[in-house]
Amino acid sequence: MALLGRNLTDETVINFGGNTPLGGTLTNGGGNSYYAFVNRPLNIALQAKYSF
């Protein structure tokens, strides 16, 4: 049996981000548009194995 955990502090971490293509068009020329990918939130799992 095992207890597994990831991102136990529930910290938001940006893995990748940048300017959105055609950002000026999306904002009617008023600025930029950005996107980002973040890590998954707090994750805890219990793993068990049963053999018979």
Q: Which residues contact 16 (CB under 8 A, 6 or more apart)?
A: 36, 37
| 36 contacts 49 by C-beta, under 8 angstroms | no
* Per-residue tokens: 24: 């000026």
Could you read off the pLDDT tens digit of each residue along the chain, which spans 52 residues?
A: 999 999 999 899 888 888 777 666 766 766 777 889 998 899 999 999 999 9
State the total domains in the chain: 1
Query: pTM (2 decimals)?
Result: 0.51
Ramachandran bin of 28, using left for φ above 0, alpha for ψ from -120 to 50, beta for the remaining angles: left
Domain contains 52 = no
Give the integer Cα–Cα distance in Å for 46 and 5: 9
Single out the residue of 31, 29, 32 nearest to residue 19, CA to CA: 32
Range of the domain at 23: 2-47
